Structure 1
């Protein structure tokens, strides 16, 4: 189970690092095209949260410094993902809502495992 949790952590971290960096670095015009439902300033804020969450999934566990931050990062990303599921569902973007829900489930599994029986 520990290997599965690490795999989920790495996959989620890569996804959120890429998505977050894109939101942070893209110009506002491109953000408006890609994320029509979210104002650019909010998208930049979400991107920052995603990058910090991605780092939080890996760095505390690897360094051994405040490893409790790893499940807290998973919870934070789950909250962001819950909002994304609602947003995609309201926009009738069913495929994106399902993908986001799967990522939400993965983040919750990491939070459960790292807070519970497989804590660092």
Structure 2
């Protein structure tokens, strides 16, 4: 199960890294022109960049604390924060009628729930 949790964290960290890089480096107009980026029309550039930075921090927080054995409790804390982020994403995409993106966000949310449950619970790094 430990390996499965590591794989889940790696997958979710990859998603967070990709999302963070795109939101921090790609201009708002280009994001808005892509499918799934319609939500950026009503968002400020600062808000989009802040979400990007949070996603980059999530990518780091899902892996690095455990690898370095420095505050490994941050892995499930980061997963719990990702859950909140995905709830917001699901609401946003749901309001825009983007059911496929809501479904994708649900998958990411489920991965985060699995990581938080496993790392706070029976397979925590402290046990």
Q: TM-score range by the shorter chain?
A: over 0.9
Aligned twin of 1:18: 18
Q: Hey, what does 1:54 align to over in structure 2?
A: 59
Unmatched 5+ stretches in structure 1: none
Aligned residues: CA RMSD = 1.0
Task: Indicate whether 1:100 and 2:102 are aligned.
Answer: no
The corresponding residue for 2:114 is: 109
Q: So what's the TM-score if we normalise by structure 2?
A: 0.90
> For 1:67-82, what aligned pairs fall within 5 Å after superposition?
67-82=72-87
Aligned residues: 120
Structure 1 equivalent of residue 32 of structure 2: 32
Gaps of 5+ in 2: none
Q: TM-score, normalised by structure 1?
A: 0.95
> What SS does structure 1 have at the residue aligned with 2:92?
helix
4+ long deviations beyond 4 Å: none
After TM superposition, give the deviation of residue 41 of structure 1 in Å: 2.1
Q: CA deviation at 1:62?
A: 0.3
